[in-house]
Chains A and B, each alone.
Chain A
Amino acid sequence: MSAIEATHLRRRFGERVAVRDVTLRVEAGEIYGLIGPDGAGKTTTLRMIADLLEPEAGEVRLDGALGYMPQQYSLYGDLSVAENLAFFREMYGLSRDAFRARRDRLLALTRLAAFRDRRAQALSGGMYKKLALACALLHEPKVLLLDEPTTGVDPVSRRELWDLLHEFLAEGMAIVIATPYMDEAARCHRAGMLDRGVLLVEGAPSELLAAFRHPVLAVRGDRDALEDLLAGDEDVLAYTPAGARLRIVVRDGRERDDVARLERAGARTEPAMASFEDVFLARMRDARSAP
């Protein structure tokens, strides 16, 4: 069986359907990115997989112990780094020797060893997240669920967290990460786009990009003038800055008209690569405009 098998999960809160029908399979050694806007059902899905919340329908099977890192603060702010880890040792019922060995390895990996006596509330955002991760990993889970672990964390700490995740992946862990960062979804082996409780699409990021049908152009010219030109254009699905250029996504089949219009306005265009965010936003828009 897969390391994580969640089939046809469904959960309501009162009238509101948070998760309508979600099926996820994640293999050992694989990292799966769960992406979606606020309220799409990411946290509810993770909480059902973690058995913190009972699904109304559907089933979850995990092959091995579970580690879970919630989005909200999960540590004791007035306890030190080492004391927080010791607290989790009690929860997991680890033997003293096993605990010491794992604690020391995790402190080394997270580069928190020098801060073991610092209180959790005095850690920077990135260090705090690394400690929360260490606590979730103390009992050497086979399955790890991370709920927006990098929100509000600077790029250096973000990169460190990702390097850590790759170490554990290499050891055969299965990881699900919920994230609003599109570039992080692109770092996953597979990613699923969740919207209003349903997975709109899932697959390897490279496959999703390859299947993206709308042309993407890099446009060079006066940025303010270009934005004015593009703002009211129904065929321009998205535009984002990239250095001195503007990257635009044009509706499939309409690129010739748009290129002509942009060039009349003095801009130069060249083909560009789609980003994962383009794929995501286009899918979302298609789903929203469908009856």
Chain B
Amino acid sequence: MSAAIRVRGLERRFGDFVAVNDVSFEVGAGEIFGYLGANGAGKSTTIRMLCGLLAATAGAAEVAGVDVVHRPADVRRAIGYMSQRFSLYLDLTVDENLAFFGGAYGIFGARLRARREAVAAELDLGALGAELTGSLAGGVRQRLALACAILHEPRVVFLDEPTAGVDPEARRTFWRLIRRLARAGSTIFVTTHYMDEAEYCDRVGLMVDGRLAALDTPSGLKRELAPGRMFEVHGARAAEVAAALPGATVEPFGASLHVRPADTSADAATLREALARRGLAASVAETDVTLEDVFLRVVGRTP
């Protein structure tokens, strides 16, 4: 696997505060790499260093073959960047926005027209060229922002919370397009707060207080960091269930409860029996462990 991003001992200090602390990882070409963490965990600081916008205080980083620590300006042409506050001009049309971003990357004339058609086809923007950007729905605007970020055919694309506030249908469409881009060879580095989206990633890194606390495939993270099983219990109160199942984590989930027993071998039947012994006739069904369970565990709120 050839690496599109190589990071070794990367560090960034702001005064006494270490925002990114000795972080190392590699991202392979064509890989979708999810970078998760609480607000303030160091995600954006990492991205800003990898994009050559912020100098590292220690360590080495190479993006698309460019040493971003020593030659930060050279990396711009090799990367695309899109953030949640996608910076489109709302009073320009779709085509004008693309032309504007093309110009910023030195793409004009026939090449601009060809690339504009290519990204419009790739991102299902079809015949929207003459539409005013301000009149587009959120999901379409988001695809346009992505189009602007990949117009210059970057090898590595950074997406910083690209789907914040976008509805589920648009999010699914967006991720289908991201997977398509990755399969065509682009490397994707993405941050998100939506744990279900992290499932689309090939591998996921979890940042906690500036450090990379875990890095694996979504299934690997669940296996390692949230072992055991999760059950949905309906028809009993949290306090009753907690009393009947010592050591279990119990939390309200709508009208039901999400329960993770301390005994990782327990199944729905044994739980039902344990509750019945306390006179609780609750329904119990197994439910999936999610990356959110992993996140809450690693970041340290849930025992």
Contact = CB atoms under 8 A, between A and B. Distances in A.
Interface of A: 36-40, 124-126, 148, 151-160, 166, 180-183, 186-189, 204-206, 224, 227, 238, 240-244, 273, 277, 280-281, 284
Nearest to B238: A166
A187 B257 CA distance: 9
A227 B179 contact: yes
B168 A243 contact: no
10 contacts: A37-B139, A154-B37, A166-B252, A206-B234, A206-B255, A240-B196, A243-B218, A243-B219, A243-B222, A273-B287
Contacts of B218: 241, 243-244
Given A183-B196, A186-B254, A155 B296 contact: yes
B199 A126 contact: no
Give the secondary structure class of B's interface: mixed
A281 B194 CA distance: 17
A39 B195 CA distance: 24
Given A38-B166, A280-B168, A156 B296 contact: yes
Give me the 4 closest cross-chain CB pairs, A-B, nearest first: A37-B167, A243-B219, A38-B138, A124-B39
B164 interface: yes
A206 B219 CA distance: 26
Nearest to A284: B169
Contacts of A224: 183
Nearest to A238: B172
Contacts of A189: 254-255
Contacts of A277: 168, 196
B288 A242 contact: yes
Contacts of B252: 166, 187
Interface of B: 37-41, 84, 137-139, 161, 164-170, 172, 179, 183, 193-196, 199-200, 217-219, 222, 234, 252-256, 285, 287-288, 292, 295-296, 299, 301
Nearest to B182: A224
B170 A37 contact: yes
Contacts of B219: 243-244
Given A151-B165, A238-B172, A244 B39 contact: no
Nearest to A227: B179
A160 B301 CA distance: 9
Contacts of A188: 254
A157 B38 contact: yes
A250 to B, nearest CB: 16
B258 to A, nearest CB: 9
B193 A154 contact: yes
B172 A155 contact: no
Contacts of A181: 194
B172 A240 contact: yes
A36 B170 CA distance: 12
Contact of B200 (A125, A182, A186, A241): A241
Contacts of B179: 227
B166 A180 contact: yes
Nearest to B39: A124
A244 B222 CA distance: 11
Nearest to A285: B169
A227 B176 CA distance: 9
B240 to A, nearest CB: 15
A206 B287 CA distance: 13
Contact of A151 (B137, B164, B296): B164
A63 B224 CA distance: 49
Contact of A38 (B37, B137, B299): B137
Given A243-B218, A244-B217, A157 B168 contact: no
B164 A204 contact: no
A156 B299 contact: yes
Given A126-B39, A227-B179, A204 B166 contact: no
A240 B183 contact: no
A124 B164 contact: no
Given A37-B169, A152-B164, A155-B295, A124 B40 contact: yes
A125 B85 CA distance: 14
B77 to A, nearest CB: 29
Contact of A155 (B166, B167, B292): B292
B256 A206 contact: yes
B197 to A, nearest CB: 9
Contact of A39 (B137, B217, B295): B137
Given A38-B138, A180-B165, A280-B168, A240 B199 contact: yes
B296 A159 contact: yes
Contacts of B138: 38-39
Given A182-B168, A240-B172, A273-B287, A187 B295 contact: no
A154 B299 CA distance: 11
A152 B168 CA distance: 15
Nearest to A152: B164
Given A124-B40, A240-B199, A38 B139 contact: yes
Nearest to B218: A243
A153 B166 contact: no
A1 to B, nearest CB: 22
Contacts of A186: 253-254
Contacts of B296: 155-156, 159
